[in-house]
């Protein structure tokens, strides 16, 4: 008989109204003749009532006000932080600009600037030379390459305009907006 | 639902006063969870404040197809978990099915308290505080907040079977404990 008693889980679910119709009937039939399970059920019913009784939470009556105060302080602090950021950004930008203006007026800068241009263009010149030699070797006129580039670029452009472009083209255009 | 939406939109725009309504409606929910998960009384109020600040700051992420109570409970539960982790307080959530939990010395009822605690509620609270935190939390959500198994699953991220198992074991433990500690006739009154 011991094996046929209602399980504690089922008794609890019965108390909490969590059992289906079929199980409910089985439990109720068993309870009619089993005093032991009735006793257990009574305990669980009392426990459930006791558990459902609300507890004293001792909430500070100023609780909501304290939270609101903290929230407002947080917001103010963040706003101040943002302004501080803007002001600091503007100030450092201004300082940089002034420094740059002063710097461009020095003789040192004038010389440096000229040197930079010359050095920067030297490898470019070399590359172009190398490129035309290469083209001459495989017997293609530079004009053909130029034409092909123009066609390719206009294709990319049309593709972008008509919104049929693939993701990598989109990415390319995003990163190199100069293309369109 | 629409009222809630209007209210939340107001709050998102920075209306902190509108947030007072949310606090009034869900204060007990948050305090229930924190009270049962955090033993240090002096830490509880700060944790509840932090929970509501988190709620305020994350309100724009709230999905309206969810229940606000479940969402807030989730934030409170997670916040308490972080607190417990920081304090290295175990949850005992990996307790094996037949495992029994012992009362901690600090949870024992002192003779003075014993005579003071004449009513069932106080005795029950003592017994509940001796249970593993995970058990207390689930008992609280089910019995004090009247949440469904599914809502408890959403809050705790535990499987439904585990939630039920913890509930069954917690209730059985409480029943056995209260029956064995006190004379049977006067336990529930
Ligand atoms: Zn029986």
* pTM > 0.90: yes or no: no
Q: Are residues A123 and A149 in the same domain?
A: yes
Cβ count within 10 A of residue A30:
15
Whether residue B95 is predicted with pLDDT greater than 70 in this model: the reply is no
Name the percent of chain B in helix, strand, coil, to the closest 5. 70, 0, 30
Site of tokens 């064995």? B180
- H helix runs in A16-162, sequence order: 21-33, 35-52, 63-104, 107-137, 142-161
- Alpha carbon of B114 to ligand 1 centroid (Å): 34
Is B23 within 8 Å of B52 (Cβ atoms)? yes
pLDDT at A95: 86
pLDDT at A6: 96
Average pLDDT over residues B101-112: 49
B81: which residues sit within 8 A by CB, 6+ positions away?
Answer: B91
- Alpha carbon of A132 to ligand 1 centroid (Å): 100
Average pLDDT over residues B117-141: 86
In a domain, A57, yes or no: no
Counting the structural domains of chain B, the total is 1
Lowest-pLDDT range of A37-41, B63-67, B82-86, B170-174: B63-67
pLDDT in tens, B24-54: 999 999 999 999 999 999 999 999 999 999 9
Distance CA B24, CA B68 (A): 13
Sign of CA dihedral B83, B87, B91, B94: positive
In a domain, B32, yes or no: yes
In a domain, B24, yes or no: yes
Is A82 within 8 Å of chain B by CB? no
Who has greater pLDDT, B167 or A99? B167
Q: Cα distance from A8 to chain B (closest Cα, Å)?
A: 7
In a domain, A45, yes or no: yes
Distance CA A77, CA B53 (A): 14
Distance CA B94, CA B116 (A): 35
Q: Please list, residue by residue across A93-119, b when 16 or more beta carbons sit within 10 angstroms of its beta carbon and e when fewer do.
A: eeeeeeeeeeeeeeeeeeeeeeeeeee
Alpha-carbon distance values, A83 to A88, B14, B90 (Å) = 8, 18, 44
Who has greater pLDDT, B40 or A138? B40
Q: Are residues A20 and A105 in the same domain?
A: no
What is the C-alpha end-to-end distance of chain A, expressed in Å? 87
Whether residue B102 is predicted with pLDDT greater than 60 in this model: the reply is no
CATH classification at residue B43: 1.10.1740.10
Are B19 and A71 a contacting pair at CB < 8 A? Answer: yes
Counting the structural domains of chain A, the total is 2
Is B99 within 8 Å of B131 (Cβ atoms)? no
- Percent of chain A exceeding pLDDT 70 equals 83
Can you give the residue range of the structural domain that contains B167?
2-182
Six token digits for residue A21: 């119709």
Are B121 and A75 a contacting pair at CB < 8 A? Answer: no
Q: Cα distance from A67 to chain B (closest Cα, Å)?
A: 6
Distance CA B142, CA A174 (A): 53
In a domain, B26, yes or no: yes
């Amino acid at each position: 008989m011991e094996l046929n008693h209602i399980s504690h889980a089922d008794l609890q679910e019965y108390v909490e109204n969590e059992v289906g119709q079929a199980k409910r009937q089985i439990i109720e039939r068993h309870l009619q003749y089993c005093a032991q399970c009735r006793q257990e059920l009574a305990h669980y019913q009392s426990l459930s009532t006791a558990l459902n009784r609300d507890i004293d939470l001792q909430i500070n009556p100023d609780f909501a006000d304290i939270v609101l105060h903290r929230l407002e302080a947080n917001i103010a602090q963040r706003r101040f932080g943002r302004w501080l950021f803007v002001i600091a950004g503007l100030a450092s930008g201004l300082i940089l600009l002034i420094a740059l203006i002063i710097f461009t007026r020095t003789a040192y800068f004038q010389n440096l600037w000229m040197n930079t241009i010359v050095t920067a263009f030297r490898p470019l010149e070399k590359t172009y030379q190398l490129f035309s030699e290469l083209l001459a070797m495989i017997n293609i006129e530079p004009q053909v390459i130029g034409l092909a580039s123009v066609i390719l670029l206009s294709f990319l452009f049309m593709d972008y305009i008509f919104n049929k472009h693939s993701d990598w083209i989109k990415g390319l255009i995003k990163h190199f907006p100069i293309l369109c | 639902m629409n009222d809630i939406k209007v209210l939340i939109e107001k709050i998102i725009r920075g209306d902190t006063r509108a947030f007072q309504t949310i606090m009034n409606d869900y204060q007990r929910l948050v305090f229930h969870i924190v009270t049962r998960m955090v033993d240090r009384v002096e830490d509880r109020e700060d944790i509840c404040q932090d929970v509501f600040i988190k709620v305020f700051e994350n309100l724009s992420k709230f999905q309206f197809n969810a229940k606000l109570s479940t969402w807030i409970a989730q934030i409170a539960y997670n916040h308490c978990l972080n607190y417990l982790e920081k304090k290295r307080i175990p949850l005992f959530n990996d307790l094996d099915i037949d495992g029994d939990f012992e009362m901690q010395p600090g949870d024992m009822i002192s003779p003075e308290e014993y005579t003071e605690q004449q009513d069932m509620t106080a005795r029950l609270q003592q017994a509940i505080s001796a249970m593993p935190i995970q058990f207390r939390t689930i008992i609280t959500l089910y019995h004090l907040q009247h949440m469904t198994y599914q809502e408890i699953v959403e809050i705790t991220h535990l499987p439904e079977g585990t939630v039920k198992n913890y509930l069954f074991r917690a209730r059985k433990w409480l029943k056995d404990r209260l029956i064995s500690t006190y004379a049977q006739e006067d336990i529930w009154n």
